[in-house]
Structure 1
Amino acid sequence: MKNLVKTMRKPNWNFALNAVMTLCMLAIIGIGFLIKHTLLQGQECKTIYGQNKELYLLNMDRHQWGNIHFILGLVFCGLLTLHIFLHWKVITVIYHKIIKAQLAKRILAFGFIIICSILILIPFFITPKIEPIKKGKGRQVTLVTDFNSNLPYLCNVN
């Protein structure tokens, strides 16, 4: 193992990091397509299969695949941060070559940081629109009576 670390030079580490980032991004994209087009949500599933069904792939439903999608997104963010850290010198050299004026450099960097911060933090500060479920939309629950006892219980009819 010690020899492996010694023989791995910076280009080899960069290649390995880029390969893992590529695989991670492809998995994120693939799972996104899986959730959107294969493991359909309620109304789309009902339209295709005639009734509301739970769809599974590898014993996981769309919500469990969504959790994997989210975790891979976090892993990718960590790898991207490491990638930026390892390439910081190259980034700054190219940035200084492209933009000559000091004021423009600062404005552009500040604007970029603001945009990135907004994109990351906005989900924590917005609230969804809340509306009551209209008839014929969403899950419907019907009151059913058990024949063995006269106690009513709730049952999903979907």
Structure 2
Amino acid sequence: MRRSTINYLVDLLLLLAMLGMLWTGVVIRFVLPAGSGRHALLLWGKGRHEWGDVHYQLVFVTIGLVVLHVGLHWDWVCDVTGRLFVRGERKAEKRRPGLRIACGVAFLAGVSALFGLGVWTALLRVDELAKTSSPGYHGNRPDRVTLDDHDTPGDHEEGDAGHGKGAGQGWGSQTLAEIEKQYGIPVAVLLKRLRVPETVSAETRLARLRQEYGISMSTVRDVIHQYLEQMERAPAVDKP
């Protein structure tokens, strides 16, 4: 197969992958926005989360094709980089081919370092946020509180981190089964009041519900609070 044909096919696949990323991004943002899972909206049998997985996979396909594209045009990358950043390289390129290669490698290393810096910065930021919401942190707005003595999490949002039965675990990381064990509200009842499909697993974390169905933590708190109030008024009657 001719080199030009290979370049054409790689560029065509790269274009299709980028269009796929754009299309799935539009689907996630506008067709199946956050909270659409609550109404069981599907597109070709896939929900918002499944299309997000497709979008994520297309990212890696695109990266792989970009690397292949650069590899096929490596001589051109080295040549242009040398001409742009090395004085006199246009005249000396035939005498110093190693310098052109070094320029290409330096350019590729710079791009990789820039990408790595972005990833590292994002991970560092996530780590900082995790520290501010971890047990023992006394900030202004902790994420974790408890419902001891039938208090709602909202009653403590402006105070210190919670303690007691719920201590040691952030709200977003708790599963539905753990919520049932901690506060006594059955998983089926919680799902029904949150208007979430009953097929959701009891091992699903609250953060996953927030991501897929647009359910805020304050909504979960309100549901638990209302259930506890009902059970307190009529402890002998099951009111789902």
Q: Which amino acid aligns with 1:76?
A: T
2:125 — aligned with what? 126
Task: Give matches, 1:66-105, under 5 Å.
Answer: 66-101=52-87
1:20 — aligned with what? 13
1:54 aligns with 2:40: yes
Point out where structure 1 has 5 or more consecutive residues left out of the alignment.
Answer: 1-7, 46-51, 154-158
Q: Secondary structure at the match of 1:55?
A: coil
Counterparts in 2 of 1:75 and 1:111: CA distance versus 1, 3 Å: closer
1:116 aligns with 2:109: no
CA shift for structure 1 position 151: 5.4
CA shift for structure 1 position 100: 2.2
Q: Secondary structure at the match of 1:127?
A: helix
Deviations, residues 71-126 of structure 1 (Å, cap 9, x unaligned):
01001111111111111111001111122249xx69x7364442122134444443
Q: Which amino acid aligns with 2:49?
A: H
Q: Structure 2 length as normaliser, TM-score? A: 0.46
Task: Give matches, 1:1-40, under 5 Å.
Answer: 8-40=1-33
What is the aligned-residue identity percentage?
22
CA contact (8 A) 1:40 1:55 kept: no
Q: Which amino acid aligns with 1:24?
A: A
Point out where structure 2 has 5 or more consecutive residues left out of the alignment.
Answer: 90-102, 134-141, 144-152, 156-214, 232-236
Counterparts in 2 of 1:80 and 1:94: CA distance versus 1, 3 Å: same
Q: Structure 1 length as normaliser, TM-score? A: 0.67
Counterparts in 2 of 1:21 and 1:121: CA distance versus 1, 3 Å: farther
Q: Give the Cα–Cα distance (whole angstroms) in 2 for the partners of residues 15 and 25 of structure 1.
A: 15
Count of residues in Structure 1 that have an aligned counterpart in Structure 2: 132
Q: Give the Cα–Cα distance (whole angstroms) in 2 for the partners of residues 78 and 88 of structure 1.
A: 15
Q: Which amino acid aligns with 1:37?
A: F
CA contact (8 A) 1:31 1:69 kept: yes
CA contact (8 A) 1:35 1:66 kept: yes
Q: Say which structure is richer in strand.
A: 1
Structure with bigger gyration radius: 2
RMSD, aligned α-carbons = 3.3
1:64 — aligned with what? 50
Q: Give the Cα–Cα distance (whole angstroms) in 2 for the partners of residues 86 and 29 of structure 1.
A: 25
Counterparts in 2 of 1:84 and 1:27: CA distance versus 1, 3 Å: same
1:3 — aligned with what? none
